[in-house]
Amino acid sequence: MKLYTYYRSTAAYRVRIALALKNLDCELIPVNLLNGEHKSNAFLKKNPEGLVPVLDTGEYMLSQSMAILEYLEETYPQTALLTGNAADRAFIRSLAQTIASDMHPLNNLRILKYLTGELGLQEEQKLQWYHHWIKSGFTSLEQRLKKSAGTFCVGDALSLADVCLIPQVYNAHRFNCPMDDYPTVNRLNDKCMSLPAFADSAPDRQPDAI
């Protein structure tokens, strides 16, 4: 398999973690989002959305990190990341979707660029936007995680919720979001980052990290 990735992409970071947890061999192919490589014809042929991550399975070219995570889960069930009964799995997915659907899309590179570009917002206003949506997402996550977390987001088993949470915490740190109000999130982040699958998948450990 090959993963088209960018070191700072939180969506690609999710997939890197899952590949590592499942101990899967995958070649990482950096796509430079800063110089617009994701808008090149060569990359758009792989993913017309012009977004990373893209997983080339050899047979399929898959985009959208949550779809890729579900594909990996179904194809390589070892180190299961969606466990328990249907309601347990729905809860794991709901935590993951808060991050992937409600938080990340509002704070993505192209959205932030649009705010300061086409809409003419100042850097400070952009950060206000970023912090607002991060705060709203982490506040609801903290409330739910306070009840559900053991060692990891849901009890003592790693799940897709942890795979999505840790990259979003990285992103919040990157934009200097205050995190003091989220003790459970911080504890889970410390625990996961002590595991090689998370630490080795982190942006600063990637070959394309600047």
Ligand X SMILES: N[C@@H](CCC(=O)N[C@@H](CS)C(=O)NCC(=O)O)C(=O)O
**Dist. CA 41–CA 86, nearest whole Å:** 41
- Taking CA atoms, 65 is separated from 3, 14, 60, 95, in Å, by 11, 7, 14, 15
Q: Which residues on adjacent β-strands are paired with residue 30? A: 5
For position 184 contacting ligand X by CB under 6 A, the verdict is: no
Say whether 174 sits in a helix, a strand or coil: helix
For position 65 contacting ligand X by CB under 6 A, the verdict is: yes
Minimal distance in Å, beta carbon 209 to ligand X? 15
Minimal distance in Å, beta carbon 134 to ligand X? 15
Q: Which residues on adjacent β-strands are paired with residue 63? A: 54
Minimal distance in Å, beta carbon 64 to ligand X? 5
For position 93 contacting ligand X by CB under 6 A, the verdict is: no
Which range touches ligand X (CB under 6 A), out of 3-11, 129-137, 142-150, 153-161?
3-11
For position 52 contacting ligand X by CB under 6 A, the verdict is: yes
Q: In this complex, which beta carbon is closest to ligand X, that of residue 93 or of residue 149?
A: 93
Minimal distance in Å, beta carbon 8 to ligand X? 8
Pairing mode of beta strands 2-5, 61-63: unpaired
**Dist. CA 191–CA 193, nearest whole Å:** 6
Residue ranges that bind ligand X, judged by CB under 6 A: 9-11, 33, 38, 51-53, 64-66, 100, 108-110
